[in-house]
Structure 1
């Protein structure tokens, strides 16, 4: 077994970013956050990766923070700032990853694990998945950026319920409030993930990257077009993908977009 706590497994046109601490249900420690930051940067630099799928090795996505390390944090006043800075950098890098991201969730998706999943564009799960954000049970405070991603995903009232109760939520409820996009049974989760990835990578990369960038601008507070968004919109008309899309439509065939 690899000693790496975070693995990047490249496949055809996509890659799996795997949390690799299955004996601890992928409980997150500082080394994992450090490795994740490096791996996300590596994936960002590899333009052959058109979709990044984040998942956990074994039977859990991530069961929150490593409790042993949390005890050390409580005893050392210098550690909270260091860990907060590191987790912020990782989550920001994943949120602003330029191509589509998918969180594929089995088992526990709690605390920081749920926070990681909320940084992804799409969340899919099987019926073993369990979700919770539990700072209220530990005397901690959820960060503003984490809280905003939660509210952007499920809305204010469900976010308050999740944070105030700290309860563990079944996958069916997570689907009903929009915390996840798709729910499949255990045996078909990976097969359906592959179908979802294929449906994304078969589309125009030009459209995908630009639309993701514009949606993130809206989430960051933009409410009207600016020079960047106008250029993205206008430049697409001169792209090879637009030419291919129009030709494919006229010829009644599937488009073959540039990589």
Structure 2
């Protein structure tokens, strides 16, 4: 693993750090290449229940793709297609993780950085953060997958405004639009983010992951139960965590879930 991406573990919470603070955590193509493997490792780690994605420091989550690489890595159509495939793979790796993912956003969250943040399940931001999706400023076209994530969060007309303007959006406006889920003062963001992450680790993990799977199916257009969703729901009754949840409720105590 390069020093541009760091992985930290504290209890059941894993953190992935975009580690280029000297360039506001601008994302290199090597970082996009590396992220799927890093995320797959955390998804397979039985000790990790929640993953937080953040940038190093407090000035930026990520200021976008590293523009110093554009001529070398995106200088012609073939190179650009290859570059886009790595970006899409990194975003898809986040979006398809079985475990919950939470973007902790300090400062700038622009371009490719916003793409990664929107691929997470939840986004907590500081009150000085700023967001922008900028293909219209570069003569590029946003991918269908990435566009769908924006539309799913804010609706078609607001997504159009975001995409065609490329304008920066302040934290409170981002909260109003639905781009982020919570906004906190900058010096409180980390505490609130990890408190929530720790809370999720205390819940029944089969319920957490299958709840995420049900949301994914609804977003993909499924509107009624099928054999698979019924099997998922019914199989929860066979887990030890279900029995523990019922006992804890009857005994008026916090549950001690063990499934991971």
TM-score range, shorter chain: over 0.9
Quote the residue 1:136 is aligned against. 136
Which whole-Å CA distance do the structure 2 matches of 1:173 and 1:217 have between them? 28
Segments of 4+ in structure 1 off by > 4 A?
none
| Equivalent pair of 2:74/2:83 in contact (CA under 8 Å) | no
Once the two structures are superposed, residues 203-237 of structure 1 have per-residue CA deviations (whole angstroms, 9 ceiling, x without a partner) of 11010011111111121222221222111100111
Aligned pairs for 1:1-259 within 5 A: 4-58=3-57, 59-258=59-258, 259=260
Which whole-Å CA distance do the structure 1 matches of 2:169 and 2:84 have between them? 26
Q: Secondary structure at the match of 1:17?
A: strand
Which whole-Å CA distance do the structure 1 matches of 2:239 and 2:226 have between them? 20
Q: How far 1:187 sits from its partner (Å)?
A: 1.0
Which whole-Å CA distance do the structure 2 matches of 1:35 and 1:76 have between them? 23
Once the two structures are superposed, residues 77-129 of structure 1 have per-residue CA deviations (whole angstroms, 9 ceiling, x without a partner) of 32111111111111111101001100000011001111101111110011121
TM-score after normalising by structure 2: 0.96
Segments of 5+ residues of structure 2 without an aligned counterpart are: none
Q: Secondary structure at the match of 2:77?
A: coil
Give the superposed CA RMSD: 1.3
TM-score after normalising by structure 1: 0.96
Which whole-Å CA distance do the structure 2 matches of 1:25 and 1:173 have between them? 22
Q: How far 1:74 sits from its partner (Å)?
A: 4.6
Moved more, 131-140 or 85-94: 85-94
Which whole-Å CA distance do the structure 2 matches of 1:103 and 1:19 have between them? 11
Which whole-Å CA distance do the structure 2 matches of 1:211 and 1:18 have between them? 26
Which whole-Å CA distance do the structure 1 matches of 2:239 and 2:36 have between them? 33
